[in-house]
Amino acid sequence: MDESLLRTLTPTVISILVRRGADFAAAEDAMQDALIEAVRVWPDDPPGDPKGWLVTVAWRKFLDAARADTSRRHREVRVEAEPVPGQGEMADDSLQLYFLCAHPSLTPASAVALTLRAVGGLTTRQIAQAYLVPEATMAQRISRAKRTVSSVRFNQPGDVATVLRVLYLVFNEGHGGDVDLAAEAIRLTRQLFALTDEPEVAGLLALMLLHHARRASRTGPGGRLIPLAEQDRSRWDTRLIAEGVTILQAALARDRLGEYQAQAAIAALHADAPSTSETDWLQIVEWYDELLLLTGSPVVRLNRAVAVGEADGPQAGLAALAEVSPDLPRYAAVRAYLLERAGGLEQAAELYAEAARAATSLPERDHLTREAARVRQLLQA
């Protein structure tokens, strides 16, 4: 039984059922019934066309459930003999399922959970473990999300930007469990990349690959956070970096710049540098300028101040930081870093300690606490 094949086919089959007239929840239930049947039948009698087999069985399961439900006796359904769609139709169906799971009526948390369940094919238990919540809580979240989108019918194109935000949330917010959510987000984005020619989809895939390439070097023993400047670059995955750069270059060549492409370009410059001091900081500042034009994001402005400090010196970085609100998360840590480089050790130590108190994760809090202690030692030397 090829589990990866089943996970790949799941969104396609659900999409076909939805297009034929099933609501989302009913389509997903029918697909689960078909998967149970596949587990029972396929080991002894594997089908020649697994996708066609799943579509046929899932559609029959849906029809059986619809007929058994007296409140749905008059539902309009197509005939059971409807042929399996061709390749182009399947691509449209699968893309629609991405749009459905990232529907604007859903909260970000619900959209993420529904995407992992319906598009990713993960179990409720796996999703709950990944997000460190009880399985019952996650089941309720997914059920509410399915009810919310069950009556949605697409009469206009879906929003790719919303889908990309959901996939990036999956990439960034996974915490644990037996499923690597970063790898799962990359897998799903690869599928989306195959379904659409949008340059921003390529940009997000490149960004994920470039970030994922540095994953092994980001933490030390006990989960200790290792900043970029101290990472062992020999541990970076050069295969993923090369793939990410190739995808990014092809996207940039289409001259339809978006925020994920700009972020990926910054990540590529970091990945290309032998060390922090040899990084092309001037070009990184230019990309942050492009990103600011695209997003106007305060977080981008904060990160740009760091890049300016590396390119033109800490005083220039502090001047750039003056344009950022002090209420922004990580502001104190960035100001501490720039002040330390400018020689303001006493204030830097205080700001590192302040940033540690405001940190939202234990690794970040531990790192900033150690930075505060290190600068205090410099003051005593």
Q: In this predicted structure, what is the pLDDT of residue 74?
A: 47
Which range of 55-59, 140-144, 185-189, 345-349 scores highest in mean pLDDT? It is: 345-349
Which range of 191-200, 266-275, 356-365 scores highest in mean pLDDT? It is: 266-275
Q: Is residue 111 part of a domain?
A: yes
Of 36, 67, 85, which residue constitutes the final position of a domain? 85
Q: In this predicted structure, what is the pLDDT of residue 361?
A: 86
Residue 176 Cα distances to 4, 100, 113, 126, 182, angstroms: 20, 26, 15, 9, 10
61 and 39 part of one domain = yes
Rounded Cα gap, residues 106 and 123, in angstroms: 20
94 and 174 part of one domain = yes
Q: Is residue 74 part of a domain?
A: yes
Number of domains composing the chain: 3
Predicted confidence (pLDDT) per residue in 64-90, tens digit = 887 766 444 444 444 444 444 554 444
DSSP 71: G
Question: How does residue 20 score in pLDDT terms, banded at 50, 70 and 90?
Answer: confident
Which range of 4-13, 145-154, 331-340 scores highest in mean pLDDT? It is: 331-340
Q: Is residue 204 part of a domain?
A: yes
Of 225, 259, 279, which residue constitutes the final position of a domain? 279
**281 or 10, which is more confident:** 281
Q: Is residue 312 part of a domain?
A: no
91 and 44 part of one domain = no
Q: In this predicted structure, what is the pLDDT of residue 118?
A: 85
Q: Average pLDDT of 297-303? A: 96
Rounded Cα gap, residues 308 and 220, in angstroms: 28
Tokens of 88: 């182009």
Residues in CB range of 195: below 8 A, 6 or more apart: 91, 94, 95, 98
**16 or 340, which is more confident:** 340
Q: Average pLDDT of 33-41? A: 87
Contact (Cβ atoms closer than 8 angstroms) between residue 196 and residue 158: no
Helix (H) or strand (E) holding 142: helix 135-149
- Domain span at 68: 1-85
Residue 171 pLDDT greater than 70, yes or no: yes
74 and 96 part of one domain = no
57 and 97 part of one domain = no
Q: Is residue 246 part of a domain?
A: yes
72 and 109 part of one domain = no
168 and 223 part of one domain = no
Residue 178 pLDDT greater than 80, yes or no: no
Instruction: Output the average pLDDT for the chain.
Output: 87
68 and 123 part of one domain = no
**197 or 86, which is more confident:** 197
Rounded to a whole number of angstroms, the distance between the first and last alpha carbons of the chain is 65
162 and 211 part of one domain = no
Residues in CB range of 289: below 8 A, 6 or more apart: 304
Q: Is residue 189 part of a domain?
A: no
Residue 175 pLDDT greater than 80, yes or no: no
230 and 202 part of one domain = yes
Out of 9-23, 33-47, 64-78, 187-201, least confident range? 64-78
Contact (Cβ atoms closer than 8 angstroms) between residue 10 and residue 78: no
Say which CATH number the domain at 143 has. Answer: 1.10.10
269 and 214 part of one domain = yes
Q: Is residue 38 part of a domain?
A: yes
Q: Is residue 347 part of a domain?
A: no
14 and 49 part of one domain = yes
Question: How does residue 130 score in pLDDT terms, banded at 50, 70 and 90?
Answer: confident
Of 232, 260, 279, which residue constitutes the final position of a domain? 279
